[in-house]
Amino acid sequence: MSIKENLLAVTNTIPNSVTLVAVSKTKPMSLIQEAYDEGQRIFGENRVQEMTEKWQKMPKDIKWHMIGHLQRNKVKYMAEYISLVHGVDSPRLLAEINKQAEKHNRVISCLLQVHIAEEDTKFGFNEEELLDLVANEEFKAFKNVKIVGLMGMATFTENMNQVRREFASLKSLFTKLKSNYTDFNTLSMGMSGDYKIAIEEGSTMVRIGSSIFGSRN
Ligand SMILES: *Cc1c(COP(=O)(O)O)cnc(C)c1O
């Protein structure tokens, strides 16, 4: 199937209220352009250098999302243009994003990554750390970052009941925080293998790569 057909097949299964991030990591600009030509404007990448190269060369109305684990020393390279950072997983990273955003006179939207999977290889806050962070006065004073929601990845497993349970727990945390933080509007959960479940459990943003661009090496 072509990118066009893949994209259509995916968008046909996503309600209008859910935002699609087309995950283009490792994929060449020619394929991104194909998706762009079909109207897709949001792309997700997980390496700053690769994303920056694509940003420089591709149409300027693309919104680039950083979806992977982000090192603090890389923030400066994307601060000028990044549209949303999905995986903020430490207070120090948030502080660095704030600092670099200030240099460009920008307010960078961020999602806090929550650890919902059972594997300990996946990054993110636990519930207690998260509640501490959003209540922290030092962070509330940051003027150049805006925390707009949460992001999570479910366990890599065939057990879809478990995946559903993990998404449901993230959604309930999101709902709890949303009542206190008016900027909260985005719940990023769901990838090619589990996005339908994620949407059923309340996702507002799905990150889909291989179902659109084919599998990665
Ligand atoms: C690679 C990646 C995706 C997309 O995965 P697919 O299974 O190809 O849809 C989504 N989210 C994150 C954080 C990723 O790193």
List, for residues 156-191, the tens digit of each pLDDT value.
999 999 999 999 999 999 999 999 888 999 999 999
* Contact of 97 with 142, CB cutoff 8 Å: no
122, two tokens? 């996946």
65, two tokens? 């999302």
Checking if the pLDDT of 116 tops 70, the result is yes
Checking if the pLDDT of 122 tops 70, the result is no
User: Going by CA atoms, what residue is nearest to atom 12 of ligand 1?
Assistant: 67
Q: What percent of the chain has pLDDT over 70?
A: 99
Nearest atom of ligand 1 to the alpha carbon of 215: 8
Q: What percent of the chain has pLDDT over 90?
A: 91
Rounded to whole angstroms, the Cα distance separating 38 from 8 reads: 9
* Contact of 154 with 189, CB cutoff 8 Å: yes
Mean predicted confidence (pLDDT) in 74-93: 97
The Å distance, Cα 191 to ligand 1 centre, comes to: 6
pLDDT band at 1 (very low <50, low <70, confident <90, very high): confident
Nearest atom of ligand 1 to the alpha carbon of 151: 13
Task: Give the pLDDT score at 119.
Answer: 81
The Å distance, Cα 138 to ligand 1 centre, comes to: 32
Q: Please write the tens of the pLDDT for every residue from 93-110.
A: 999 999 999 999 999 999
Q: Please write the tens of the pLDDT for every residue from 7-36.
A: 999 999 999 999 999 999 999 999 999 999
191, two tokens? 């990838």
Task: Give the pLDDT score at 35.
Answer: 98
Rounded to whole angstroms, the Cα distance separating 128 from 102 reads: 29
Pocket test for ligand 1, best of 23, 197, 208, 215 (most atoms within 8 A of CB): 23
The DSSP string of 103-143 is: HTT--EEEEEEE--SSSTTS--B-HHHHHHHHH-HHHHT-S
Domain limits, the chain: 3-213
Nearest atom of ligand 1 to the alpha carbon of 23: 4
Q: Is 23 in the pocket of ligand 1 (CB under 6 A)?
A: yes
Output b/e per residue, 56-90; b: 16+ Cβ within 10 A: eebeeebebbbbbebeeebbeebbebbbbbbbbbb
Q: What is the CATH number of domain 3-213?
A: 3.20.20.10
Q: Is 207 in the pocket of ligand 1 (CB under 6 A)?
A: yes
Nearest to 176 by CA among 206, 150, 196, 142: 150
Task: Give the pLDDT score at 182.
Answer: 86
Mean predicted confidence (pLDDT) in 186-210: 98
Q: Residue 16, exposed/middle/buried by CB under 10 A (0-12, 13-18, 19+)? A: exposed
* Contact of 117 with 79, CB cutoff 8 Å: no
Mean predicted confidence (pLDDT) in 65-79: 97
Mean predicted confidence (pLDDT) in 41-51: 98
Output b/e per residue, 136-173; b: 16+ Cβ within 10 A: eeebeebebbebbbbbbbbeeeeeeeebbebbebbbeb
Taking residue 30's Cβ as centre, other Cβ atoms within 10 Å add up to: 8
